[in-house]
Amino acid sequence: MAIEEPQDVPVLERLQVLGVELLTEWDALVFLHRHAASLCTAAQIAQLIGYDRAEIGPALHRLEALGLIRRSRVSQGIRFYRFSEPAEASRHGCLRELMNLTYDRAGRLLLLKHLKRSGLAPRRRRHGGLRLA
């Protein structure tokens, strides 16, 4: 089987199928995908992936609305954030392809090209899916 080059993946189309628009949303999704079930506050997720709390809150909310993550009830500011595999085959396939892109620099640059930045200035970048730009 031929190895798919990053540029072969129609990234924008895949992102649109998933409904992910912002870089913040994508970084949060990658973090939760890697960690599967995170018991923490939104502020801690923001800190771990190098964003402000004000950016992460709406991103997590939108990811939940898109059915890509699940949030438990809140207990003293803490929630369970769980990655949620899309049930529809088309969305599932798109997510897999895009996640694969995050494992090399060329793929990440391609994703970066198609994701919008939020209005807020990013904090000092330390970790996270797209921490290279």
**103 CA to centre of own chain:** 13
**Would you count residue 100 as binding other proteins (CB under 8 A)?**
no
CB 27 within 8 A of CB 93: no
**Would you count residue 53 as binding other proteins (CB under 8 A)?**
no
**Would you count residue 87 as binding other proteins (CB under 8 A)?**
no
**Would you count residue 84 as binding other proteins (CB under 8 A)?**
no
Tokens representing residue 114 in the block: 């198609």
Q: Which of 13, 34, 131, 132 binds other proteins (CB under 8 A)?
A: 34
**Would you count residue 92 as binding other proteins (CB under 8 A)?**
no
Centre a 10 Å sphere on the Cβ of residue 22 and count the other Cβ atoms it contains. Answer: 17
Cβ at position 66, least distance to other proteins in Å: 21
Q: Which of 78, 112, 122, 123 binds other proteins (CB under 8 A)?
A: 78
Cβ at position 43, least distance to other proteins in Å: 11
Report H helices in the chain: 11-18, 23-35, 42-49, 53-65, 89-101, 105-114
Q: Which of 21, 35, 53, 57 binds other proteins (CB under 8 A)?
A: 35
| Cβ-proximal residues to 60 (8 Å cutoff; 6+ apart), any chain | 28, 42, 45, 69, 71, 81
Residues at the interface with other proteins (CB under 8 A): 33-41, 44, 72-73, 75-76, 78-80
